[in-house]
């Protein structure tokens, strides 16, 4: 199997080199290559070259049928619809344009193990911003041919030099922490003149940014992750592109982008999408308004745009074997297209998991974008899970405010534990355990700063994150107590200390961390690895009890394991009686503290310190 994979990689490299040698009059074809044996045998090729539409184009290859040729507004583009039959052999498919031939590679669809596995409640996701994590190859820090050619680690808005090799070099650190999946902010090319580091202004959909690495290195990164038991999530942006995208310089057609003069800048509000009384004007502003002048808004109602974006997603899934997708700026896209996109992705890769970024205000609003049509939308988005901003707000409210300030939108006149109230509304989701739970990310203030650098509060928040019925995600550096507020965003995107060759401190090692940092690291590692091996926390059911006296108790359980989590929001230590929770503790004789290992035999007096959360395994 290993030798087959190496042969496949070599074929791709050699064949692409041959194809690119015949670029006149064809300068580019997207996708750059494809596969035989795909479930969907239809493919649309976008051909780009000077006056290409004025040339006759033919394809003669066994099993391949050229169904139609589409000329569009710009004579430099042609769109070819082809069918790749089930018996089509892998090889080089000649595409003749005029007197020139472009050798288009067709490969057998990869079928190695550990590809496209999907992400589930058993996983713990580690979010990385590649430019800010570790610099494994200083030679690619500056690419002279690119728009931005400066490195300045003293500025949060310049590139810092982190790359894929840096992540590869620290996969053991990530795995040791108890992580099972890595999500990186977009790795594709962002050839923008300023602030190109974050990855959300794509300028080439089919190319890894050369300052991060190459397509081949990305494929190697995914393979190495899989070998180490780590899954990979790709951050996908379909709503917009960068202003320096190669297509922006020569657009295929007049409506490839949404017209910024016709549709004012977005209001960044999801309400017009779901409002049963909303105006079409407001709806179009959300769907077609640009979110930033440097990010042209794609017209996802254009059928060619739709095909281009869908095929690009499937291309990366096939090429690299990615396990999950995080969909950026989800609700800004045309809803019908989103459903079609997800359907086609799922058709090809039914196990791949799709998370939608739903930065919205309200539980029901989150559910509106989730799969299953649970809120009378008459549209199943086929999204597996949403980014659970509401649970995050509930956790922060619970750990940061005294109980007398626990006013929740669901219970505005009652001091209700906000986490309990939020989870009690899980009936609006098809599969709440597939929602992504988190405390912070690249757009939000770091959790340790939000809790006032109070270690007890941080541990309580992490405890809930890692034990509730969600897929937890932690942001790089949370495990060592990195700080920063998101006004501006760059301040939460600091470099991981030790990721650069000349760093004075190396927080990847125990010796390089302070006592406090090691305390946070070992707590996170202990609980994350316990979760990694706990069937109750990975796949068990959940039962929560109505909070009384500022004490919140919930259970995760299977037929073979029971885990009890107790959150004490009082300013004094408390003792709980297991007999108050006999639905889950009836046959239990011992409670073991998961972090300390202490065994408690007197289940009528289980101690829980003030302002802390404790995890017990019941025996």
Catalytically active residues, by annotation: 328, 357
Cα torsion 574, 578, 583, 588: sign: positive
Taking alpha carbons only, the member of 457, 458, 390 closest to residue 428 is 390
Angstrom distance (rounded) from CA 251 to CA 254: 7
Question: How would DSSP label each residue in 365-395?
Answer: HHHHHSTT-TTS-S------EEB-HHHHHHH
Secondary structure letter of residue 110 according to DSSP: P
- Contact criterion met (CB below 8 Å) for 135 and 160: yes
CA atoms within 13 A on the CB side of 367: 21
CA atoms within 13 A on the CB side of 179: 29
Q: What are phi and psi of 225, to 5 degrees?
A: -60, -45
Strand order in the sheet with 57-59: 34-36, 100-108, 91-97, 57-59
What is the SS3 assignment for 280-308?
A: HHHHHHHHHCCCECCECEECCCCHHHHHH
Centre a 10 Å sphere on the Cβ of residue 510 and count the other Cβ atoms it contains: 11
Angstrom distance (rounded) from CA 190 to CA 243: 10
Secondary structure letter of residue 441 according to DSSP: -
- Contact criterion met (CB below 8 Å) for 130 and 442: no
């Amino acid at each position: 199997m290993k030798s087959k994979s190496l042969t496949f990689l070599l074929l791709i490299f050699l064949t692409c080199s041959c194809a690119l040698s015949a670029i006149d009059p064809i300068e580019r074809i997207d996708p750059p290559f494809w596969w035989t044996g795909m479930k969907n045998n239809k493919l649309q090729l976008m051909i780009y070259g000077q006056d290409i539409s004025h040339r006759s184009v033919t394809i003669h290859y066994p099993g391949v049928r050229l169904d139609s040729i589409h000329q569009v507004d710009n004579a430099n583009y042609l769109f070819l619809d082809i069918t790749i039959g089930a018996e089509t052999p892998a090889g080089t498919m000649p595409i003749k344009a005029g007197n020139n031939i472009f050798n288009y590679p067709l490969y057998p669809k990869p079928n190695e193990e550990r590809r496209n596995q999907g992400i589930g409640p058993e996983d713990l996701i580690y979010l990385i911003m590649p430019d800010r994590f570790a610099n494994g190859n200083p030679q690619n820090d500056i690419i002279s041919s690119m728009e931005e050619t400066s490195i300045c680690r003293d500025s949060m808005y310049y590139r810092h030099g982190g790359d894929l090799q840096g992540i590869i070099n620290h996969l053991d650190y990530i795995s040791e922490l108890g992580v099972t999946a890595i999500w990186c902010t977009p790795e594709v090319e962002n050839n923008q003149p300023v602030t190109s580091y974050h990855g959300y202004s794509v300028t080439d959909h089919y190319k890894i940014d050369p300052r991060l690495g190459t397509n081949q290195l990305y494929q190697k990164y995914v393979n190495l992750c899989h070998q180490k038991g780590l899954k990979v999530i790709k951050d996908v942006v379909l709503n917009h592109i960068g202003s320096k995208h190669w297509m922006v310089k020569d657009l295929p057609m007049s409506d490839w982008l949404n017209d910024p003069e016709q549709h004012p800048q977005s209001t960044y509000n999801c309400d017009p999408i779901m409002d049963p009384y909303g105006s079409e004007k407001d709806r179009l502003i959300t769907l077609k308004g640009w979110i930033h002048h440097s990010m042209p808004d794609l017209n996802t109602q254009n059928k060619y745009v739709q095909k281009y974006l869908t095929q690009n997603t499937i291309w990366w899934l096939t090429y690299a074997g990615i396990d999950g997708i995080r969909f950026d700026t989800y609700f800004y896209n045309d809803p019908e297209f989103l459903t079609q996109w997800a359907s086609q992705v799922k058709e090809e890769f039914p196990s791949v998991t799709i998370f939608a970024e739903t930065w919205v205000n309200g539980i029901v609003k989150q559910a509106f974008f989730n799969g299953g049509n649970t809120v009378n939308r008459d549209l199943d988005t086929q999204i597996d899970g949403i980014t659970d901003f509401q649970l995050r707000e509930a956790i922060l409210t619970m750990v940061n405010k005294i109980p007398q300030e626990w006013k929740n939108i669901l219970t505005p006149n009652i001091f209700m534990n906000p986490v309990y109230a939020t989870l009690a509304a899980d009936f609006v989701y098809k599969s709440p355990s597939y929602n992504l739970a988190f405390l912070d990310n690249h757009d939000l203030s770091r959790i340790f700063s939000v809790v006032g650098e109070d270690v007890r509060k941080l541990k309580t928040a992490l405890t809930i994150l890692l034990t509730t019925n969600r897929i937890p995600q932690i942001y790089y550096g949370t495990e060592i107590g990195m700080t920063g507020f998101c006004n501006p965003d760059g301040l939460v995107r600091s470099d991981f200390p030790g990721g650069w060759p000349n760093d004075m401190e190396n927080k990847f090692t125990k010796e390089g961390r302070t006592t406090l940092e090691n305390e946070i690291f070992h707590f996170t590692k202990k609980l994350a690895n316990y979760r990694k091996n706990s069937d109750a926390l990975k796949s068990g059911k959940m039962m929560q009890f109505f909070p009384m006296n500022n004490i919140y108790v919930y259970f995760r359980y299977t037929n073979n394991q029971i885990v009890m989590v107790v959150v004490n929001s009082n300013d004094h230590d408390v003792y709980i009686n297991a007999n108050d929770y006999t639905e889950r503790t009836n046959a239990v004789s011992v409670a073991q503290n998961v972090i300390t290992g202490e065994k408690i035999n007197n289940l009528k007096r289980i101690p829980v310190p003030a302002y802390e959360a404790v995890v017990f395994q019941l025996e």
